[in-house]
């Protein structure tokens, strides 16, 4: 039996990286997956992979920071499938690496808009639907180790991810009695297109990151997907309000 059999689960940023790996895994475990991404073409390619493997999925072009777009998507999901059982709020951007004096206000606004406002807008819509359901639901937000510790050159990204952890804990408390669980995963350094942009620009960075992790390597997106799926499944039924590091021991140092 699949861990998320017959659940309808929304995955934002599901066209690549961690979101794509999670969407594929959820579908393989029996979920109906709805992918929301700015790139509809990439979203549809992920859907094709899922369908070829025998799963169920659909993709929508959505700006997660736009509450109107997110509300319309969640309403459409509920109308089509009858419920929204889970949501993985994963869409995000890295922003530039720059100390706070060199970080522009436009850079700050863009990172906060997607990484923090996007999660806030998504949660508002998802919770509004889940409170209507007897069985509630499970929400998982992608934070980061940068939501648990500081990191040089990452003021906007760190602020956004600390904010995601804060929202996660607050909404978990607000809706626990409605049977809505809210958790976050805090990935470390992951082999994703987002990270590859940086390691390609700085050939020494990849080895430096590996050496900073006790397990001695970066993670694969599937390793984060496994954690997200567990939190979305009923197997984590007594877990809410946590920020789970999936970081190879990075924050244990």
Q: Mind telling me the catalytic residues?
A: 157
Instruction: State the number of CA atoms in the 13 A half-sphere of 25 facing the CB.
Output: 22
Instruction: Locate the DSSP E strands across 66-120.
Output: 86-89
Angstrom distance (rounded) from CA 185 to CA 59: 23
Phi, psi torsion values for 181, nearest 5 degrees? -95, 140
**Nearest residue to 26 via CA among 48, 3, 59:** 3
Angle at 31 between CA 21 and CA 114, to 5 degrees: 50
Which residues neighbour 164 within 8 Å (Cβ) at sequence distance 6 or greater?
115, 116, 119, 141, 142, 143, 144, 147, 184
* CA end-to-end span of the chain: 38
Phi, psi of 26 (to 5 degrees): -60, -45
Q: Say if residue 207 is exposed, middle or buried (CB neighbours under 10 Å; 0-12, 13-18, 19+).
A: exposed
């Amino acid at each position: 039996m699949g861990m998320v059999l017959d659940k309808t689960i929304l995955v934002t940023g599901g066209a690549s990286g961690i979101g794509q790996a999670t969407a594929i895994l959820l579908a393989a475990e029996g979920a109906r997956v709805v992918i929301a991404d700015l790139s509809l073409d990439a979203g549809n390619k992920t859907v094709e992979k899922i369908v070829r493997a025998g799963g169920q999925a659909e993709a929508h072009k959505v700006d997660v920071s736009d509450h109107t777009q997110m509300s319309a998507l969640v309403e459409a999901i509920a109308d089509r499938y009858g419920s929204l059982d889970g949501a993985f709020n994963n869409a995000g951007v890295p922003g530039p690496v720059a100390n706070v004096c060199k970080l522009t206000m436009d850079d700050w606004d863009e990172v906060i808009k997607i990484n923090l406002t996007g999660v806030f807008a998504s949660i508002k819509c998802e919770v509004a639907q889940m409170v209507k359901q007897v069985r509630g639901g499970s929400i998982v937000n992608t934070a980061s180790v940068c939501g648990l510790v500081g990191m040089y050159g990452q003021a906007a990204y760190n602020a956004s991810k600390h904010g995601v952890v804060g929202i996660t804990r607050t909404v978990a408390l607000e809706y626990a009695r409605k049977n809505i669980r809210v958790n976050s995963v805090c990935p470390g350094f992951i082999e994703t297109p987002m990270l590859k942009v940086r390691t390609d620009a700085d050939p020494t960075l990849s080895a430096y990151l590996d050496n900073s992790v006790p397990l001695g390597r970066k993670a694969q997106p599937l390793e984060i997907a496994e954690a997200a799926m567990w939190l979305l499944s009923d197997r984590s039924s007594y877990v809410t309000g946590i920020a789970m590091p999936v970081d190879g021991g990075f924050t244990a140092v």
